[in-house]
């Protein structure tokens, strides 16, 4: 490990010891943050797996219902029934925070209703299919949110891990080695000073 380029004196030694103490505290805080981020990330990953399975099941059922609707009514009737929607769908985006990490909070916004067609000319299954599609949309928004959360947390975990590794394997060892080097250098200077003093004392006594 490389020794830092500093003057080997007591003032620098005190500064390095203080810097090392701060680095160790920072390392502990970052390590704790990394552990907590990993807990949140693993929980999110499990949630993503469950949501994906749910969304896939709901989409399969939705497609099945729309396929049945097509068998019970003509293409023209279905297209005409859905050509004048009265429902507006949007997504509201806000910020949430996990361990000071900004996470997008997505909320599905729905205004109006989807019953914009004649009930006498369309099959009743169309209601069921549209209702299920509306429910799938809410699951898709939730899935998008947790996947984005996982992405943001993964980036933060990688960044925090690099900082932890830099402190643990580079900065702190370099500081400790520099402290040892200066301590040895100061001890050597003290020994040389005592030796000179003893020689001077012997010369004076003679």
For the segment 15-41, what is each residue's pLDDT rounded down to a tens digit?
A: 999 999 999 999 999 999 999 999 999
Average pLDDT over residues 114-123: 61
Report yes or no: 98 and 152 within 8 Å, Cβ to Cβ: no
Least confident of 100-104, 128-132, 165-169: 128-132
In a domain, 103, yes or no: yes
Report yes or no on 195 lying in a domain: no
Domain assignment of residue 200, yes or no: no
Task: Please report whether residue 155 resides in a domain.
Answer: yes
Assigned domain for 202 exists:
no
Query: Residue 204: inside a domain, yes or no?
Result: no
- Own/partner pairs for 60-66, CB < 8 Å, 24+ apart? 61/132, 62/129, 62/132, 62/133, 62/136, 65/125, 65/128, 65/129, 65/132, 66/129
| Contact predicate 179/20, CB 8 Å | yes
**pTM: predicted TM-score of the whole model, two decimal places:** 0.77
Say how many domains are in the chain.
1
Identity of the highest mean pLDDT range in 11-15, 26-30, 98-102, 186-190: 26-30
Q: How confident is the model at residue 49 (pLDDT cuts 50, 70, 90)?
A: very high
Structural domain contains residue 3: no
CA distances from 177 to 31, 123, 137, 153, 173 (A): 22, 80, 59, 34, 6
CATH code: domain of residue 19: 1.10.287.3240
As a whole number of angstroms, the distance between CA 39 and CA 56 comes to 26
Range of the structural domain that residue 164 is part of: 10-187
């Amino acid at each position: 490990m490389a020794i830092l380029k500093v003057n080997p004196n007591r003032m620098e030694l005190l500064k390095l010891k203080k810097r090392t103490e701060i680095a160790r505290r920072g390392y502990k805080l970052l390590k704790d943050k990394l552990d907590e981020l990993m807990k949140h990330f693993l929980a999110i990953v499990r949630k993503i797996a469950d949501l994906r399975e749910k969304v896939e099941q709901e989409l399969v059922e939705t497609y099945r219902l729309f396929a049945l609707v097509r068998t019970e009514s003509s293409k023209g009737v279905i297209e005409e029934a859905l050509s004048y929607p009265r429902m507006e769908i949007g997504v509201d985006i806000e910020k949430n925070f996990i361990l000071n990490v900004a996470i997008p909070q997505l909320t599905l916004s729905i205004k109006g209703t989807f019953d914009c067609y004649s009930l006498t000319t369309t099959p009743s299954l169309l209601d069921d299919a549209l209702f299920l599609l509306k429910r799938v949309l809410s699951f898709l928004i939730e899935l998008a949110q947790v996947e984005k959360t996982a992405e943001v947390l993964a980036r933060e975990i990688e960044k925090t891990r690099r900082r932890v590794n830099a402190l643990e394997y580079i900065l702190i060892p370099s500081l400790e080695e520099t402290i040892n080097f200066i301590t040895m250098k100061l001890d050597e200077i003290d020994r040389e000073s005592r030796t000179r003093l003893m020689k001077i004392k012997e010369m004076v006594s003679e």
